[in-house]
Amino acid sequence: MSETLLSIKGVAKHFDEIEALSHIDLDIRSGEVVGLVGSNGAGKTTLLRLMAGVYTPTKGSVTLEDGSDVSEMRHLLGVVPESTGLYSRLTAWENIRYHSRLYGIDDETSWKRTQLFASRLGMSDSLSRHTKGFSRGMKQKTALLRALAHGPSILLLDEPTAGLDITSARTVRALVKQLRDEGGTVVYSTHQLEEARQVCDRIIIIHNGEVRADGSPQQLMEQTEQDSLEEAYVSLTADQARSRNEDADSEGRITAWWRKLFTPKTPELEVDIDG
């Protein structure tokens, strides 16, 4: 059995009267790609933000392998949110370098890791370009490079292929599988069952803030006595989906979350992004 890197115990999350998640118990283990699958509003993004330490649980705990609260150990995580949050006046490399320096990673180490993964994503020739003119796919790849540059233990991806063309989506999926083959650990949020089947070793189905199933695609089909993953999903989520609440945040709050996520709890750093 692989070691547990991230433990979620008895977690619930409320927003005023809204119960976004209720009593979640999950372990994320080393060397696996875990899919969070559910409809819009199911609670996937809320759960990812709890894993990233952006949200504090209303009940329960989210801890890393040594028992530390995840909010105190964000440097061990690499996060690609649904909105990439790149600085458009900076080049791809400047965005990545700035992020790495915030986490105390020297430029040489960050550059070596960036070059390694950029070659896999077909981004090597674009690192010196300003991100303002990037396509959605290029921005998503840059966000992936930024998340990987400091060598995280766990990579959290929120709808990483949403809005991407077929070629870019395939490239992202191929990188995720390669990271898994090299011993990496990835949590992969998606509402596409076929994508989850292609990429994930284990699928967690979330519906109306609850975990309805947790297992391999084959296990989910056996559990529900269905012949396809799609039919298994439908049988597990037969009750009506609630309206989406996760997008009710204003732009100001999203920006605040982003700053909180990527600003480690360390003394203020003076970074020369032009040097």
- Residue 262's pLDDT is what? 59
- Residue 66's pLDDT is what? 84
The tokens describing 179, both together, are: 């990271």
Domain boundaries, the chain: 4-86+153-261
- Residue 271's pLDDT is what? 47
- Residue 263's pLDDT is what? 59
CA distances from 48 to 33, 89, 246 (A): 14, 28, 12
Any idea which residue has 């949110």 for tokens? 81
**pLDDT tens, position by position, 138-152:** 999 999 999 999 999
Q: At what angle do helices 92-102 and 107-121 cross, to 10 degrees?
A: 130
- Residue 267's pLDDT is what? 47
Question: In terms of pTM, does the model score above 0.85?
Answer: no
**pLDDT tens, position by position, 77-94:** 999 988 888 999 999 999
Residues of the chain with pLDDT under 70: 1, 242-275
CATH topology of domain 4-86+153-261: Rossmann fold (3.40.50)
